[in-house]
């Protein structure tokens, strides 16, 4: 497989990387070295992807565990469902800590990546603001700390354009000075699909890698670099014009494919199939042979996903039109997401923070 | 012509409405009742469209004058060019006031439409914040007002979702109570084209009409309703997924059309044309007959602009994916735009505010 | 009584006006025309002052009802107590509406006075942001409105320095156009006492009067001017240097008076009284005759409250040091207060909004 | 001298520490080991205090140089004077760098101390936001860096209550990892005098010490700890109730002292002296012996500055009324101060940034 493609048209989400591999390689769903488990928890779709060294080479995602939690609670502005999502996140995160042999008293450094002054990139800093920090109490007032809490510190390193420094260098310096036992890093991601924006939360134990996130980093935040586990929590908050166009072409094709199937099959030779949208009707004569992508979209329809994206990108980029965009309601989405994720983290880190309590801490 | 289409797939910009009409009607560039004048001022493209009653019916934009000023200064974050743009805006606005018989002592009410808490919709309120208001001085401290100033008040009515009231009713109430001689209303618009986002400023003497702007209004802000001239200043700050997709398909087609032309013509029968992107090469055998949109995009390529948009919209809307989106740098774009427009307005309203002074007022 | 004094050294709170009158006139606690009722509700001190036409002249507060609710929940950042305070506010407000013959379907206009860009003055606008508005639903989607709601609209008129217009003129215009049945106006007040800042909420049916609030108004928001009841909700958020100094002098006196009493009385002639602070000890020989204010503070101690304030004001004002100040934690205090008051209003206005629901609306 | 007092009632400003020493020790103005130089630059008062090891023990300020720049430009909202102040700051800062043997290519780390979410404490973070950072360009695109720039990075470590970490530990970690040649740290200070709030800028080469600033630190940011020069820039943005009261008492005394002097001396035995404020007149009979503080303020008037403060503090603190307060216009003051200081720093750090250019960078 051509590794190169993935570098150019990559995704931060393991579930997407897996889907891309399946599609491109025309494989069955089973990929050697990539174990997939899907389930519903409290009604939310949770996908658990485990990648080993074999799988790492195939889908170009580092070996480790990637848990994806899907929720409509942010888009719908539904605060009850946001609270329920936070509780599920808390459970998933706690499970991942356990699997990585991180015990209840291990010291955590929470890192909020991104730029607090660019709303769609402010997810990390806004989450950090709502983290329940306790390390200073452990240091200076140990008598004030009740059972069921661990030492937690939290921090937003900013972005290179504002600080002039590599984000990983800043974190490296703090890790060496403060000696936390593990890191949780929160980052806003770029999505490769419209419908994941602000609705997919990925939790992983593989750290954060160069070129990921809304603001690209140059060095990995990882066990290899820092010597301690790095748990990452990422949510796609932006999408580029290439993705919007590519997704839309796919949706149009799926829509027509379905419509023609529904309409054609029963009455196949009896009446000509037709498709209506607005005041326009397309009949079979508009689509001579069969309902193939090629007829609907011509040459473009014949390209596979990666080729199509590459083509669109090559056209838009020189024009300066491959914008990274975000839904216009970005302010309230980021506000609610930061609240949700901080609630999930607070609940997972401190045994004694039940979700209701966690909620009141972060209001 | 089908007027209906325009209601569904409309544009706030007269230059776009005109282009749409030209394209759909396969007309020459001359439209009866629509007078077009293009010029460069200080290097910026200025398009002056005058629509009369005949033109109004054709391009579905109310009779009046629409001046469009194009600038890259916001996208490029170039503060010198932003200042230059503000100066041109000031001149264009002053000219429009003069044409509408608004003299130098006429009292102005500046209205900032939109929602201050939704960044891409906050252009109006953010601009109002930087307007040099003087009406209270004229009322309570006339001795403090120097020559060369007029009475100006400024105001942000909010949006219906937050106030529970029609925006035009609020303004109506204030107009009746305060008796300004004219209104300048600033609004964030939805764009029908990627490349106009945050780079096109439209100034018009026709007011603001139902369904326009990022937050739809139900009643016009217009001379007819308020009994005084309503000057509007609008900038597209958001774009929907339909537009992004439709524009991209057009760009891809133009790109290929040009590439094939460049490649085919010289060597027409000698060698097969080919197109390369990424690692993919398309040769003539992939495009049997001719370099038509139909070959590149199949059926989709045969649709005209309006049909194509309608199709995409009908597919995306039920999925909930026809997002209104904004560039991820929205915070700084809106900040700079508000500064630019307020500087332009302050310069146009007060004879004694030269651009440098206007600039310092709004910092 | 000298009416003049009150104009110069006034208070927005009726409880303070009453106290000032009692102190200055050396009266007993009973003032003709001023009825006082104190009680604890859910542990919060609630003072109910009813002023009639006779009382109006005495304490210089307009005839009507003034309810004062005291809470430490904001200063302490205690979200449970903030919720409890909001519930009490809701009950008090509902009672005041009933007493003013405002029924459950009467249309309400909520007005947030103050400047959204000056944090301590942003209480009104920030509260409005969290009001549950329904009027547009009653107008355009009556079928969507369930039982137990009333039509509510909400609005922030800004301040004269930003709009160039009288606040009351803007509201007047909207009232005439929209015809609400009553108004609830929220305003940040200046306190005449340190300990009331961010901890006293006054609800009244007398409207808002010239010279009150952090930003002085020139015209009353009142039944007399608008023809409909105007309920006001005010919280002191700033205090001036005169008040801080005057209060502190009083505290010092009370402190010493108490200390001397405690120390002197039991052992009166046995041992010399002494007072220690820091490394300094004052004995009776420092206070020759008796523990009078005059000995502690000399001439200043002989002045009554109003004289003392006047003196301090005359000294500080020409120096430009009579600052209006606010606690440095102003950002979080205003955030929490706006949440608390909006929750209280939403609960009082809509029968179907119980406090838990009201809370989730305003998060 | 009692060192203890200074710990309890300290000041961050060397000019104040010096004044306190002079007053308390009833010394002449000359203090051994403390060299004072006053001058006007561009109309602004500049005080240059040099403290050596002898002086350090006397006035309890670390040996080194303290330059104080006084300006009314922030309070008056005068943007021209703010620009002029920034230019003077730039010159003073450049001079201090030179004196500390920091050359034009030495690498600088700018550190913004304080809490970005608490407005009066946000001066550091807000300034950092406007610093021209170049280190990443030197590292990754050296070809893009013109002559006349040095490598600069900038950073806001947050406060311990939000991060759970000692601020100095965070900076220590970054210094070790990044190896800057010197640090410039910006901090909001608590003032010991009303009239210095938002109008005094202190630049020093002695670093920042425990207990200073609005948020107390526990470890020094200093050459001793980091091994590189630490230049500090501090502006008082808050003041406590003790200071306000104490200052006011002093102003009242000075005011009366002056008034009596003016009135009494010429006509001493001819007419009784009298003092009028409001409607009150105090005659000589109210002040039996002489115009001493003791008569005006009784025992309080006999206390020296430190004793008086200690007394007020002991009274207010247990009541919870020793608030740290800030002028209500804090939002615009901090905005303008951050702009001013960043402009000053940018101009001092980069030879090629003249003040006009520096200004446009930070807008």
User: Are residue D151 and residue D202 in the same domain, yes or no?
Assistant: yes
User: Are residue B12 and residue B150 in the same domain, yes or no?
Assistant: yes
Q: Is the pLDDT of residue C262 over 60?
A: no
Q: Is the pLDDT of residue B266 over 70?
A: no
Give the separation between CA B131 and CA B133, rounded to whole angstroms: 6
Q: Is the pLDDT of residue D270 over 60?
A: no
Q: In this complex, do D251 and C321 lie within 8 Å of one another by their Cβ atoms?
A: yes
Which residue is closest to D257 within chain C, CA to CA?
Answer: C315
User: For residue D288, which residues of chain C lie inside 8 Å, CB to CB?
Assistant: none
User: For residue A80, which residues of chain C lie inside 8 Å, CB to CB?
Assistant: 360
Q: In this complex, do C119 and D118 lie within 8 Å of one another by their Cβ atoms?
A: no
Q: In this complex, do B325 and A244 lie within 8 Å of one another by their Cβ atoms?
A: yes
pLDDT at D19: 85
CA distances from residue D98 to B193, D51, D349 in whole angstroms, order as listed: 54, 18, 11
Q: How far is D330 from chain B (nearest CA, A)?
A: 17
Which residue is closest to D137 within chain A, CA to CA?
Answer: A164
User: Are residue A350 and residue A212 in the same domain, yes or no?
Assistant: yes
Q: What is the pTM of this model?
A: 0.88
DSSP β-ladder status, A34-41 and D200-204: unpaired
As for how many domains chain D has, the answer is 2
Give the separation between CA A219 and CA B203, rounded to whole angstroms: 48
Q: Is the pLDDT of residue A273 over 50?
A: no
pLDDT at A103: 94
For the ranges B250-259, C330-339, D153-162, D285-294, which has the lowest average pLDDT?
A: D285-294
Average pLDDT value for residue range D251-273: 52
pLDDT at C359: 56
Which residue is closest to A180 within chain D, CA to CA?
Answer: D165
Mutate to test the interface with C, among D241, D253, D305, D313 (most CBs of C within 10 A): D241
Is residue B56 packed enough to be buried (19+ CB in 10 Å), middle (13-18) or exposed (0-12)? middle
If residue D191 lies in a helix (H) or strand (E), which one and from where to where? strand D182-191
Q: In this complex, do A252 and B312 lie within 8 Å of one another by their Cβ atoms?
A: yes
Q: How many CB pairs under 8 A join A and D?
A: 92
Q: How far is B72 from chain D (nearest CA, A)?
A: 18
Q: Please state the length of chain D.
A: 363
Q: C9 is written with which tokens?
A: 């050294």
Confidence of residue B261 (pLDDT cuts 50, 70, 90): very low
pLDDT at C353: 80
**Residue A125 vs residue B257, higher pLDDT:** A125
Give just the sign of the alpha carbon dihedral B140, B143, B144, B149: positive
Q: In this complex, do A302 and B316 lie within 8 Å of one another by their Cβ atoms?
A: no
Q: A301 is written with which tokens?
A: 């329809």
Q: In this complex, do B363 and D79 lie within 8 Å of one another by their Cβ atoms?
A: yes
Give the separation between CA D343 and CA D355, rounded to whole angstroms: 7
Confidence of residue D313 (pLDDT cuts 50, 70, 90): confident
The pLDDT mean for chain D works out to 83
Q: In this complex, do C296 and D295 lie within 8 Å of one another by their Cβ atoms?
A: no
pLDDT at D68: 97
Q: How far is D100 from chain C (nearest CA, A)?
A: 35
Q: In this complex, do C162 and B136 lie within 8 Å of one another by their Cβ atoms?
A: no
User: For residue B217, which residues of chain C lie inside 8 Å, CB to CB?
Assistant: none
User: Are residue D294 and residue D353 in the same domain, yes or no?
Assistant: no
Q: In this complex, do D312 and C252 lie within 8 Å of one another by their Cβ atoms?
A: yes
User: Are residue D227 and residue D254 in the same domain, yes or no?
Assistant: no
Q: A165 is written with which tokens?
A: 């420094």
Q: How far is C297 from chain D (nearest CA, A)?
A: 4
Confidence of residue A157 (pLDDT cuts 50, 70, 90): very high
User: Are residue D175 and residue D64 in the same domain, yes or no?
Assistant: yes
Confidence of residue B280 (pLDDT cuts 50, 70, 90): low
Give the separation between CA D42 and CA A270, rounded to whole angstroms: 94
Percent of chain A with pLDDT over 70: 80
User: Are residue A128 and residue A227 in the same domain, yes or no?
Assistant: yes
pLDDT tens column, D103-124: 999 999 999 999 999 999 999 9
Average pLDDT value for residue range D250-270: 56
Confidence of residue B265 (pLDDT cuts 50, 70, 90): very low
Q: In this complex, do B241 and A252 lie within 8 Å of one another by their Cβ atoms?
A: no
Confidence of residue B264 (pLDDT cuts 50, 70, 90): very low
Are C81 and C176 in contact by the 8 Å Cβ rule? The answer is: no
DSSP β-ladder status, D182-191 and D230-240: parallel
User: Are residue B41 and residue B159 in the same domain, yes or no?
Assistant: yes
Average pLDDT value for residue range A231-256: 87
Give the separation between CA D236 and CA D188, rounded to whole angstroms: 6
User: Are residue B130 and residue B20 in the same domain, yes or no?
Assistant: yes
Give the separation between CA B131 and CA B153, rounded to whole angstroms: 8
Average pLDDT value for residue range D218-230: 93
pLDDT tens column, A66-90: 999 999 999 999 999 999 999 999 9
Closest Cα partner for B339 from D125, D353, D360, D334?
A: D360
Q: In this complex, do A154 and D164 lie within 8 Å of one another by their Cβ atoms?
A: yes
Give the separation between CA D262 and CA A357, rounded to whole angstroms: 66
Highest-scoring range by mean pLDDT, A147-156, A267-276, D267-276: A147-156
User: For residue A310, which residues of chain B lie inside 8 Å, CB to CB?
Assistant: 277-278, 280
Average pLDDT value for residue range B52-68: 93
Closest Cα partner for D232 from D174, D183, D160, D170?
A: D183
Which residue among C129, C136, C177 places its CB closest to the CB of B164? C136
First-residue to last-residue Cα distance in chain B = 48
pLDDT at A84: 96
Task: Residue D126: give the domain boundaries.
Answer: 3-237+326-359
**Residue B363 vs residue C168, higher pLDDT:** C168
Q: How many CB pairs under 8 A join B and C?
A: 93
Give the separation between CA C265 and CA C281, rounded to whole angstroms: 19
Q: Is the pLDDT of residue B10 over 80?
A: no
* Residue B145, domain CATH: 3.40.50.1450
Q: In this complex, do D165 and A158 lie within 8 Å of one another by their Cβ atoms?
A: no
User: Are residue A222 and residue A260 in the same domain, yes or no?
Assistant: no
Which residue among A151, A158, A177 places its CB closest to the CB of D169? A177
User: Hunting for tokens 């904001």 — which residue is that?
Assistant: C74
Mutate to test the interface with A, among D129, D163, D345, D349 (most CBs of A within 10 A): D163
Give the separation between CA D185 and CA B108, rounded to whole angstroms: 47
DSSP β-ladder status, B274-277 and B280-283: antiparallel
Confidence of residue B267 (pLDDT cuts 50, 70, 90): very low
pLDDT at C245: 87
User: Are residue A342 and residue A292 in the same domain, yes or no?
Assistant: no
CA distances from residue A274 to A250, A254, A259, B230, D89 in whole angstroms, order as listed: 20, 16, 9, 48, 76
pLDDT at D4: 36
First-residue to last-residue Cα distance in chain C = 48
Instruction: Give the ipTM of the model, two decimals please.
Output: 0.85
Confidence of residue B20 (pLDDT cuts 50, 70, 90): confident
Q: In this complex, do D173 and A176 lie within 8 Å of one another by their Cβ atoms?
A: yes
- The values of phi and psi at residue C292, to 5°, are -95, 155
C contact set with A (CB within 8 A): 79-80, 360, 363
User: For residue C251, which residues of chain D lie inside 8 Å, CB to CB?
Assistant: 315-316, 319, 321
Which residue among B129, B158, B165 places its CB closest to the CB of C162? B129
Q: Is the pLDDT of residue D216 over 80?
A: no
pLDDT at D318: 80
Residues whose CB is less than 8 angstroms from the CB of residue B359 and which lie 6 or more positions away in sequence, other chains included: B83, B86, B343
Q: In this complex, do A297 and B294 lie within 8 Å of one another by their Cβ atoms?
A: no
Q: B198 is written with which tokens?
A: 């945050």
Mutate to test the interface with B, among C126, C163, C350 (most CBs of B within 10 A): C163
Q: Is the pLDDT of residue A351 over 80?
A: yes
User: Are residue A179 and residue A55 in the same domain, yes or no?
Assistant: yes
Q: D284 is written with which tokens?
A: 């000589």
For the ranges B261-270, C323-332, D46-55, which has the lowest average pLDDT?
A: B261-270
CA distances from residue A191 to A11, A195, A235, C227 in whole angstroms, order as listed: 7, 9, 8, 56
Average pLDDT value for residue range D26-30: 71
Q: Is the pLDDT of residue A138 over 50?
A: yes
Percent of chain D with pLDDT over 70: 80
**Residue B256 vs residue C270, higher pLDDT:** B256
CA distances from residue D272 to C300, D218, D263, D276, D279 in whole angstroms, order as listed: 20, 57, 9, 13, 18
Average pLDDT value for residue range A166-182: 96
Q: In this complex, do A161 and D136 lie within 8 Å of one another by their Cβ atoms?
A: yes
Instruction: Please tell me whether residue C21 adopts helix, strand or coil conformation.
Output: helix
Q: What is the 3-state secondary structure (H, E, C) of D232-259?
A: EEEEEEEEEHHHHHHHHHHHHHHHHHHH
Which residue is closest to B75 within chain A, CA to CA?
Answer: A320
Contact partners for chain C, using 3 or more CB pairs closer than 8 A, are A, B, D
Are C40 and C95 in contact by the 8 Å Cβ rule? The answer is: no
Confidence of residue A318 (pLDDT cuts 50, 70, 90): confident
Mutate to test the interface with A, among D177, D179, D216, D362 (most CBs of A within 10 A): D177
Q: How far is C197 from chain A (nearest CA, A)?
A: 23
Give the separation between CA B238 and CA B213, rounded to whole angstroms: 10
Closest Cα partner for B268 from B252, B290, B298?
A: B290
pLDDT at A255: 73
User: For residue D360, which residues of chain B lie inside 8 Å, CB to CB?
Assistant: 79-80
Give just the sign of the alpha carbon dihedral B222, B224, B226, B231: positive
Q: Is the pLDDT of residue C100 over 90?
A: yes
Q: How far is B161 from chain A (nearest CA, A)?
A: 13
Average pLDDT value for residue range C12-28: 81
pLDDT at A31: 87
Give the separation between CA A260 and CA D164, rounded to whole angstroms: 61
Average pLDDT value for residue range D173-192: 95
Q: Is the pLDDT of residue A274 over 70?
A: no
User: For residue A303, which residues of chain B lie inside 8 Å, CB to CB?
Assistant: 280
Which residue is closest to C136 within chain B, CA to CA?
Answer: B164
Q: How far is B207 from chain C (nearest CA, A)?
A: 20
pLDDT tens column, A186-218: 999 988 888 899 999 999 999 998 767 776 667
């Amino acid at each position: 497989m051509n590794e190169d493609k993935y570098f150019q048209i990559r995704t931060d989400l393991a579930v997407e990387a897996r889907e891309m591999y399946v599609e491109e390689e025309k494989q069955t769903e089973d990929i050697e070295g990539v174990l997939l488990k899907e389930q519903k928890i409290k009604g939310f779709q949770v996908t658990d992807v485990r990648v080993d060294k074999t799988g790492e080479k195939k889908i170009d995602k580092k070996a480790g565990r990637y848990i994806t939690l899907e929720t409509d609670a942010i888009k719908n502005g539904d605060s009850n469902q946001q609270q329920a999502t936070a509780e599920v996140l808390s459970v998933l995160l706690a499970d991942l800590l356990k699997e990585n042999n991180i015990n209840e008293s291990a010291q955590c450094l929470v890192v909020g990546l991104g730029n607090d002054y660019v709303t769609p990139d402010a997810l990390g800093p806004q989450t950090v603001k709502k983290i329940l920090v306790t390390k200073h109490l452990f240091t200076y007032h140990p008598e004030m700390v009740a059972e069921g809490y661990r030492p937690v510190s939290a921090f937003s390193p900013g972005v290179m354009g504002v600080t002039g420094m590599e984000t990983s260098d800043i974190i490296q310096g703090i890790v060496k000075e403060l000696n936390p036992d593990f890191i949780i890093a929160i980052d806003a991601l770029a999505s490769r699909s419209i419908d994941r924006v602000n609705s997919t939360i990925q939790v992983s134990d593989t750290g954060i890698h160069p070129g990921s996130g809304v603001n690209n980093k140059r060095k990995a935040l990882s066990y290899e670099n820092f010597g301690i586990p790095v748990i990452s929590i990422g949510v796609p908050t932006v999408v580029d014009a290439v993705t919007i166009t590519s997704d839309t072409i796919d949706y149009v094709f799926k829509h027509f494919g379905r419509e023609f199937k529904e309409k054609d099959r029963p009455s196949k030779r009896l009446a000509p199939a037709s498709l209506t949208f607005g005041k326009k009707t397309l009949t079979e004569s508009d689509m001579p042979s069969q309902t193939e992508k090629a007829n609907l979209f011509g040459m473009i329809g014949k390209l596979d996903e990666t080729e199509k994206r590459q083509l669109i990108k090559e056209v838009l980029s020189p024009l300066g039109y491959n914008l990274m965009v975000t839904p216009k309601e970005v302010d309230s989405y980021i506000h609610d997401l930061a609240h949700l994720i901080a609630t999930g983290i607070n609940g997972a880190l401190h045994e004694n923070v039940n979700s209701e309590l966690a909620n009141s801490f972060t209001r």
